[in-house]
Amino acid sequence: MSVVVLLSGRGSNLRALVEAGIPVSGVISNVAGAGGLAIAAARGIPAQTIAHRDFASREAFDAALAAAIDGLAPKLVALAGFMRILTPGFAQRYAGRLVNIHPSLLPSFTGLDTHARAIAAGVKLHGCTVHFVTAELDHGPIIAQAAVPVRGDDTPDTLAARVLREEHALYPRALRWFLDGRLVLENGQVRVKGGDAQAFFAA
Ligand code: NHR
Ligand code: GAR
């Protein structure tokens, strides 16, 4: 019933998951010294670094990552600020049990630098998306989304902070649905058994 979290940085989403009672049994970072490693260590969660820089190809890195994950035998693999694109083979191996939280309202603003790009585009709503990971970057079936307003005086940092607060509420909720066996995938669309809301709006 456990979750392995992959991350690259600060680890605030990891902390939110743990504090919400999501059973995280292992953490893997592709970056040595990532803040998320210390958050895991402080809570007694086994954490390890698999540095992508030590591998000659994406395939070789992903093979090492998969070996480490399979050693932990999780029910679910959750990306939480994980900054490396995964190979199609990796996505296929964990199909249906690999999820990500992305800092935009997908399908808008796939990829990186989402908050600066949202401000530059002049959108009035921004937010975050929890989705299943597929081979196509940031295009997997959407599990849940939370929207926030974009204000006229926002900087990428102020907007990111507003979105991050919603990430910390949305991600535990979505992973709990998964662990409770409540997510149904039909025709590329995700539904929650029981009909819980999958859309959230923060004023
Ligand atoms: N892999 C697949 N196959 N599919 C997805 O949907 C994925 C994925 C890997 C990561 C997270 C994603 C995000 O939420 C994610 C989704 C990294 C990049 C990226 O360009 C883009 C999107 C995401 C994560 N990474 C660069 C790369 O060359 C490296 C950037 C860096 O190290 O700073 O891998 O935003
Ligand atoms: C979060 O905003 C997450 O959505 C985003 O990085 C931040 C990680 O924060 N993810 C990506 O941009 C993936 N490419 P955290 O380390 O404090 O959880």
Residue ranges of domains in the chain: 1-94, 102-127+136-203
Query: What does DSSP assign to residue 53?
Result: G
Residue range 40-63: mean pLDDT, rounded: 98
Which residues touch 146 (CB under 8 Å, ≥6 apart)? 127, 128, 163, 166, 167, 169, 170, 199, 200, 201, 202
For the CA of 114, the closest atom of ligand 1 is 35
Q: Distance from the CA of 43 to the center of ligand 1, in angstroms?
A: 27
**Do 102-127+136-203 and 1-94 fall under one CATH topology?**
yes
pLDDT per position as a tens digit, 149-196? 999 999 999 999 999 999 999 999 999 999 999 999 999 999 999 999
* Domain 102-127+136-203 grouped into CATH 2.40.50.320: no
Q: Say what the pLDDT of residue 203 is.
A: 82
What is the domain class of 1-94 according to CATH?
Answer: alpha beta
Q: In whole angstroms, what is the distance from residue 171 CA to residue 190 CA?
A: 15
Write the residue with the smallest CA distance to atom 12 of ligand 2.
81
Alpha helix (H) residue ranges in the chain:
12-19, 35-42, 58-72, 88-93, 114-121, 156-179
Residue range 130-144: mean pLDDT, rounded: 98
- Catalytic, 102? Answer yes
Structure tokens at 148: 């926030």
Q: Distance from the CA of 64 to the center of ligand 1, in angstroms?
A: 17
Torsional sign, CA 61, 65, 70, 74: negative
